[in-house]
A and B are shown apart, each in its own frame.
Chain A
Amino acid sequence: MKINRLPAPTWNRLKVNATEVNAVRPNKAAGYEEKLPEGVDKIHGRGIGPLSDVTIKTGLGEEFDKFIEDAGFKPEGYVVSDEEKIETPLYQTFDVKGNDASVALFDYSLSDNAELTVIQIVKDEDNESGVFFVQNKYRLSKGAKLTIVQIQTLSESKEFYNDIGGYVSDDASFNLIQIVLGAKNNYYGANACLAGKNSALNLAVAYSLKNDELLDMNYVADHNGKNSESDIKANGVMQGRANKLFRGTIDFHKGCAGSKGAELEDVLLIDDTIVNKTVPLILCDEEDVEGAHGATIGRPDESFLFYMGSRGIPREEAYELLKRAKIDAVANLIEDEKTKTYIAECLDRA
């Protein structure tokens, strides 16, 4: 199947329009530990809440969505009622074990002015070549705010498919924070339909890739509502023979007057053997909009290394400091101190 398809294709020879994968069919519902805060109702099955009729597009795309649906697993639904602001995060910890192809599907429905933070930690303690699929879909009513934080520290033998998609009503906002620290093959996609006026997407991803690790991303902000805003940031460090493809699309549809979208990528390249591809895309079918793209891609310069050296910090440690800085810049967006500490511990162990 083809996943992470660009909303508007470019030259085929660049091989970035979509990614062809041969994913193993999921054969097991993933086990996970959960801490469900008070005020969140959990319901087994898809199609819940006031926007249940809305069709959700996801970042990995239609073929992946069908592939997951055909596997026959049911999602877990979470509902937050009107005006409920849940202060304690919903924690979900996945310990991916063995050679299974396991799957976890979630649906979040937040009613008017409801707020929720979901923290998902994906890790393993073995070196088996398993596959893990996770899909999060969300529907946000007027003024609702959903934050999803994902931290992934899988071993280098695992394959990880991480798919997100949702619908954002008037004055509602979706925040996504992703930290990618492991797995051999990573496929990340997120699509936000900014349907309502003043709807917003804030997306920040930080990654550290080494050896032969792959990270294939597709992030799409679909601006439909007036004065909608999107902000996509990607911070990364690449070493060894790591391979990264970043697709970031800001799509201004007819009628989204007054909308603003920005995407910014900051990649630190440590070795010459890495493969780094970036596809920034701004599509515009509306006149009164602002779209911006910026990228900083390169190696640390000699003046930086000399300054570090003059304080007794050798090249390798200087790179480590920079790597940490890139991850911290995104990790610091997380409000939950426990999660920030967890990330710091993961980085200390790495």
Chain B
Amino acid sequence: MSELLSVKGLKAEIEEKEILRGVDLEVGDGEVHVIMGPNGAGKSTLGSVIIGDPRFEVTGGSVFFDGEDITGESPDKISKKGVFLSFQNPIEIPGITLGNFIKTALEMKTGERIKLWDFKKKLKETMEVLQMDPAYAERDLNVGFSGGEKKKAEILQLLMLRPKLAILDETDSGLDVDAVHIVSKGIEEYKKQVGGALMIITHSTKILESLKVDKTHVLVDGEIAVTGDASLIEKINNEGFEQFIRKED
């Protein structure tokens, strides 16, 4: 498979505290990569820095996407190239409805006005996949949504925006068994419909059950400590991260 994302020696800091200390990672077209690691290892930071979160300063290395250097680019430009980040804690935006937000994002992506009727039809169909009440489309974005509904709203955006690479930052955290099942179905649907690549940041393996994982990376203290295949997930589940932390020491 051709290379879609290439992260080389990526270093990043926030308020002069170094979080990423030289991350190397390559994701091919349509591949599924899992990022695991102990709390505070820098997993979420990696996702944020790839999509250009301005809170972080890139102090070294580079990020290439689809052959283009996107290091230091603004999030909107990176997003338009086809990168999507599903937030661990999506913010609430009073006044902007979920439907209007997605429609605007789609129009920004395509550069064209979208017919309201066509959009509403597609949105309703997609919400059905995620068992979302269509009334949520008219509600202010994430305002008063439960944790599960917020995560579903993120996956709804993923399915509507159809990016080439989706970074899912602990999309399954805080969800009950049923919600994890629905969100997993949404991710499966993304693979089926779009065939895009996935970078899944997770502590849990439930969300991975229906996916064919190509590579697993263990991030420890801002660096990839080890990369393996899907079997590494099982190993971590049984033995934890301690072996990698010790290796670091």
Contact = CB atoms under 8 A, between A and B. Distances in A.
Given A302-B54, A321-B101, A311 B93 contact: no
Contact of A312 (B53, B93, B108): B108
Contact of A322 (B76, B87, B90, B96): B96
Interface in B59-112: 74-76, 79-80, 84-85, 87, 90-91, 93-96, 100-101, 104-105, 108-109
Contacts of B105: 311-313
B196 to A, nearest CB: 15
A82 interface: no
B206 interface: no
A315 to B, nearest CB: 8
Which of the listed residues A302, A317, A325 has the most CB atoms from chain B within 10 Å of its own CB? A325
B90 A313 contact: no
A308 B76 contact: yes
B75 A310 contact: yes
B47 to A, nearest CB: 10
B157 interface: yes
Nearest to B75: A309
B52 interface: yes
A312 B52 CA distance: 12
A214 B33 CA distance: 55
A328 B140 CA distance: 12
Contacts of A304: 91, 93
A314 B77 CA distance: 8
Contacts of A322: 95-96
Contacts of B54: 302, 306
Interface in A50-86: none
Interface residues on A, range: 20 to 34
B51 interface: yes
B161 interface: yes
A74 to B, nearest CB: 43
Contacts, number: 62
Contact of B95 (A307, A309, A314, A329): A329
B108 A313 contact: yes
Given A302-B55, A306-B54, A313 B95 contact: no
B101 A311 contact: yes
A314 B51 contact: no
A204 to B, nearest CB: 14
Contacts of B80: 312
A208 to B, nearest CB: 14
A197 interface: no
A12 interface: no
A306 B94 contact: no
Contacts of A314: 74, 76, 108
Nearest to B102: A311
B91 A310 contact: no
Contacts of A303: 91
A314 B107 CA distance: 12
A326 interface: yes
A311 B79 contact: yes
Contacts of B87: 307, 310
Given A311-B105, A312-B80, A312-B108, A306 B93 contact: no
A314 B53 CA distance: 13
The residue among A303, A311, A313 with the most chain B CB atoms within 10 A of its own CB is A311
A240 B113 CA distance: 27
Interface in A182-199: none
A322 B79 CA distance: 20
Contacts of B95: 322, 325-326, 328-329
16 contacts: A302-B54, A302-B55, A304-B91, A306-B75, A307-B90, A310-B79, A310-B85, A311-B79, A312-B109, A313-B105, A321-B100, A321-B101, A321-B104, A322-B95, A325-B94, A329-B95
Interface of B: 51-55, 74-76, 79-80, 84-85, 87, 90-91, 93-96, 100-101, 104-105, 108-109, 157, 161
Q: Please name the 5 residue pairs, one residue from A and one from B, whose CB atoms are nearest each other, closest first.
A: A325-B95, A309-B75, A312-B79, A311-B105, A309-B76
Interface of A: 302-304, 306-315, 317, 321-322, 325-326, 328-329
Given A313-B108, A322-B95, 16 more contacts: A306-B54, A307-B91, A307-B93, A309-B74, A309-B75, A309-B79, A310-B75, A310-B87, A311-B101, A311-B108, A312-B109, A312-B161, A314-B74, A321-B96, A322-B96, A329-B95
